[in-house]
Chains A and B, each alone.
Chain A
Amino acid sequence: MGASPMNKTITIDGKTVPFVDGQTIMDAAMAFGIYIPHLCHNPEFEPHGSCKLCVVSVNGRNMTSCTMPAVEDMVVANDTPELNDDRKALVQMLFVEGNHICPACEASGNCQLQAAAYYLNMLSPHFTHFYPQRKVDASHPDIFLDLNRCILCELCVRASREVDGKNVFGISGRGIDTHLVVNSASGRLGDTNFAATDKAAHVCPTGAILIKRQGYKIPIGQRTFDRKKISEVQMELIEQIKPEPDDG
């Protein structure tokens, strides 16, 4: 398939951004070099639209940019104080809804939730902590599943289903009781065919899915977000997975 000519454009924060049919606002923005904060989105998987961090204002209406197709002449506002305040509040809510103890978490420095909080200038959780009772599943010989840190982005669900072809994870419950479940008769990760080499074991944006015995092996200063902001890391991911240009 040859690349469609990018003769259509949208406007993001006053900049004219080209796109091809089928691209979302997020796709077009990131390809152009405009960063839109996000947590549940990963360009390697189908868009999900659940974390709401990527909400932008499209012709005056708020929409998730990772799921909204770009349409000719859309006027998009992204990097505005109002939207960034909303994004910060969303991250703050994620922090208090789970149990995110950064000081002792081995994902610290590699955690997208933490990095997003820094990026959005979150200085405190602001809201009252829920301190929910969540399960820890250490039954797998190589993987530690800590639901205290799950933000329900479903990246592991999607990766296991779409890439690994295993369907290890799923989401159950409704509303505030929504939670990640493991698809085995016992509900234990150790009773699935999940493997540390699976894609799903490496897509968690927080420390909910950890490979055992690897904690803290990357020293402070060399962790992902010690060196780069989340915006740079996520923009680089777009570059890495960009398909090779078609010769035709």
Chain B
Amino acid sequence: MPFELETAANPDNLQRVVIEPVTRVEGHGKVTLLLDADNRVHQARFHIVEFRGFEKFIQGRPFTEVPVLVQRLCGICPVSHNLAASKAMDMIVGGTPPPAAEKLRRLMHMGQILQSHALHFFHLSSPDLLFGFAADAGKRNIAGLVADFPDIARQGIALRRYGQEVIRLTSGKRVHGTGVIPGGMSRNLSQDDRDYLLKEIDQVLRWSLDAVKLIKTIYSEHADLYNGFGSYRSSFMSLVREDGAMDLYHGGLRARDEHGQTIFDHVDYSRYWDYIHEEVKSWSYMKFPFIRSHGREEGWYRVGPLARINNCDFIPTPLADAERKTFKEFGGGSATHATLAYHWARMIEMLHAAEAIEELLYDDDLLSDDLLNTGERQLRGVGVIEAPRGTLIHHYRINEDEQIVRANLIVATTHNNQAMNEAIRQVALQYLDGQQLTEGLLNYIEVAIRAFDPCLSCATHAVGKMPLEVELIDAEGVMTQRLIKDSDGRYRT
């Protein structure tokens, strides 16, 4: 029912329920619901109400500056923007990074995946998953987690710290480093740095494996709830390696439809626009991408951990691949479509990142000084990477003076725009339809959004302190209920 609840047939005299803001990460989002006098849901929309303008204000800047500038889009996944932009600039300088540089970039990227997935699972989502979606709000937060599950809280912090250390040693800083440059890298890894990272990798692997076990147990114990919550079938898109393996740094684009049939495969991403278009809707600043061959109505898809686990033929590290098989068996052998399966898929990826870090750390190429390649200048560059939240596309054009003249960024959360709208519509129908609103029920909407770990929904990143205001206005336009959650987490009416 993709668009069934997008626009109410007759919006007049419906009650409008607004959740605003849903989030403070990468901007502001809100959810609006239109309900009739019996609280039946007629419309549900997830709006992105902030405009950022990076694509505009980098115009005129030298292309060398852009990878460092655009990583400021995000404080959680700057490495992803830095790498996607740098891959585009590799094309512009006409140089494929030497093997050592590519491995250093991959190491940095795996550090990014590890820290971002750890942050999301342990600190932002686990309160919902461990205490229950509608549990006491005073407990359903990081403080409650520390009190009741101190080991899990500690592991989350330690895993994130390790990922940040990988990033620091490859980029120069924990956040917003400059190690990646067009055509390669400006720094290698020293022997001391490698020894330092190797000291803790066994522990990181163990905790990552434990995290997969934890979400597997939670999911299995509540299989009906987790399989059904905000669930629907959809297409998936991700990068895959030439041999079909999961590859988060580089590959061709693969899209499969809701029945698992291939829509396109091993597509050269430098012509992504032959396959993906973006639609603009008046009620959101975020565009709605769709697969061209399937059209605006049917062409929407999901990206991110669930898409990648479902799309790949295998994961090229043994522990994560074993967990992928278990995940697939649980889903009956075909792609699992459940919204909450994102959490499980995300932890399998975190395990893969830990394994990949270990493998890379034993590679002597990381110590090499052969770090840069340049060739014939091009005027256009496209860089695509699998960011923690999904496929990230950076596309730039420069002029003969080497200034940016045009930029187009399609971030993971944008690909998931329609999918997140679908998830909240499903949840609104499943749990809110005809019900008296409570904070717990509102959190169901947020649980669905959080599953995607959207960059705009820093609601999740605000660790339970995102302010919310919900008003219920009856058919006569009179406010009948109001519930406000302040930024300190307190509720008032």
- Name the distance in Å between B56's Cβ and chain A's nearest Cβ: 15
Instruction: Give the size of the chain B interface in residues (CB under 8 angstroms).
Output: 24
Say if the beta carbon of A171 comes within 8 Å of chain B. Answer: no
Main secondary structure of the interface of A (DSSP, over half): loop
User: Which of B63-71, B463-471, B478-486 touches A?
Assistant: B63-71
Say if the beta carbon of A184 comes within 8 Å of chain B. Answer: no
Is B62 within 8 A of A217, CB to CB? no
Q: Which residue of B lies closest to A106 (CB)?
A: B65
Q: Which residue of B lies closest to A221 (CB)?
A: B172
Q: Which residue of A lies closest to B177 (CB)?
A: A220
Say if the beta carbon of A144 comes within 8 Å of chain B. Answer: yes
Q: Which residue of B lies closest to A218 (CB)?
A: B186
Instruction: Give the size of the chain A interface in residues (CB under 8 angstroms).
Output: 20
CB contacts (< 8 Å) of A106 on chain B: these are: 64-65, 68
Interface residues of B in 399-423 (CB under 8 A from A): 399, 401-403
Say if the beta carbon of A1 comes within 8 Å of chain B. Answer: no
Say whether, besides A138-B403, A216-B178, A221-B172, A144 and B62 are in contact (CB < 8 Å): yes
Is B403 within 8 A of A217, CB to CB? no
Main secondary structure of the interface of B (DSSP, over half): loop
- Name the distance in Å between A201's Cβ and chain B's nearest Cβ: 15
User: Which of A4-12, A64-72, A159-167, A207-215 touches B?
Assistant: A207-215
- Name the distance in Å between B374's Cβ and chain A's nearest Cβ: 8
Is B64 within 8 A of A212, CB to CB? yes
CB contacts (< 8 Å) of A190 on chain B: these are: 401
CB contacts (< 8 Å) of A220 on chain B: these are: 171-173, 177-179, 187
Q: Which residue of B lies closest to A101 (CB)?
A: B69
- Name the distance in Å between A63's Cβ and chain B's nearest Cβ: 39
Q: In the complex the two chains form, what is the Cα distance from A47 to B399 in whole Å?
A: 39
Q: Which residue of B lies closest to A140 (CB)?
A: B401
Say if the beta carbon of A80 comes within 8 Å of chain B. Answer: no
Q: In the complex the two chains form, what is the Cα distance from A195 to B53 in whole Å?
A: 35
Is A103 within 8 A of B403, CB to CB? no
Is B68 within 8 A of A139, CB to CB? no
Interface residues of B in 365-412 (CB under 8 A from A): 374, 399, 401-403
Say if the beta carbon of A219 comes within 8 Å of chain B. Answer: yes
Say whether, besides A136-B403, A138-B403, A216 and B72 are in contact (CB < 8 Å): no
CB contacts (< 8 Å) of A213 on chain B: these are: 64, 93, 374, 402
Q: Which residue of A lies closest to B62 (CB)?
A: A144
CB contacts (< 8 Å) of A216 on chain B: these are: 64, 68, 178, 181, 186
Interface residues of A in 177-230 (CB under 8 A from B): 190, 210, 212-221
Say if the beta carbon of A123 comes within 8 Å of chain B. Answer: no
Q: In the complex the two chains form, what is the Cα distance from A246 to B173 in whole Å?
A: 48
Is B186 within 8 A of A219, CB to CB? yes
Say whether, besides A104-B69, A138-B401, A220-B178, A215 and B62 are in contact (CB < 8 Å): yes
Say if the beta carbon of B241 comes within 8 Å of chain A. Answer: no
Is A212 within 8 A of B62, CB to CB? yes
CB contacts (< 8 Å) of B172 on chain A: these are: 219-221
Other A-B pairs, 17, CB within 8 Å; known A103-B69, A212-B62? A103-B72, A136-B403, A138-B401, A138-B402, A139-B401, A190-B401, A213-B64, A214-B64, A215-B65, A215-B181, A216-B64, A218-B186, A219-B179, A219-B186, A219-B187, A220-B187, A221-B172
The 4 closest A-B pairs by CB, nearest first: A220-B172, A215-B64, A104-B69, A138-B401
